[in-house]
Amino acid sequence: MTSNRLSTESDLRVRLAVHGDRARLAEIFLVARRHAFPWILPERFRLGDFKRETDGETILTAEVDGRVAGFASVWEPDGFLHHLYVDPPMHRRGIGRALVVAMAGLCEKPLKLKCQTNNRPAMAFYRHLGFVAEDSGVSDMGPWVRYRAPAGA
């Protein structure tokens, strides 16, 4: 049986995003949100959202074999992991985990995030990484849970 997980660390590179990444990151942001939130009308998500949604945030980019495959953005003053998206065909290869680990190492504060409860794969992913639920609420996208990174992460 073969695994989708990347075969070596050299297959995956996490780095700070540069201006030249923006078009590809906007594409991933659009496609991945439509994939992650199927209960939301796809027209709600637009290609131009990336710039507005990540303004002022630190962005890390994940490359696989030299091609941008995902990103994470954080609002550093609060250690708030605002966005974590991987191109859907690249899921389950360790890319999201690598982005979270790299971002945790970059931020001075422990990471916190909100996750839509309808996005069950993401909820399971964060719990698998040891994130702990703190509180919950409801937004225009539905119910969410706020998570914090485990102590020492």
For the chain, the structural domain boundaries read 9-148
Dihedral of alpha carbons 87, 112, 51, 10, sign: negative
**AA letter at 116:** Q
Q: Is the pLDDT of residue 8 over 60?
A: no
Domain 9-148 is in which class?
Answer: alpha beta
pTM of model > 0.85: yes
Give the residue, 98 or 4, on which the prediction is more confident: 98
Q: In what order do the strands lie in the sheet with 112-116?
A: 12-16, 58-64, 67-75, 80-86, 112-116, 142-148, 132-139
pLDDT of residue 151: 72
**Bridge partners for 84 per DSSP:** 72
DSSP assigned state of 7: S
Q: Is the pLDDT of residue 6 over 60?
A: no
Distance CA 93, CA 89 (A): 10
Q: Is the pLDDT of residue 152 over 70?
A: no
Residue 106 tokens, joined? 């970059």
Q: Which of 103, 31, 95, 36 is closest to 69 using CA atoms?
A: 95
Distance CA 74, CA 88 (A): 21
Other Cβ atoms less than 10 A from the Cβ of 118: the count is 16
- Asked if residue 69 lies in contact with residue 63, where contact means CB atoms within 8 angstroms, the answer is yes
Q: Is the pLDDT of residue 42 over 90?
A: yes
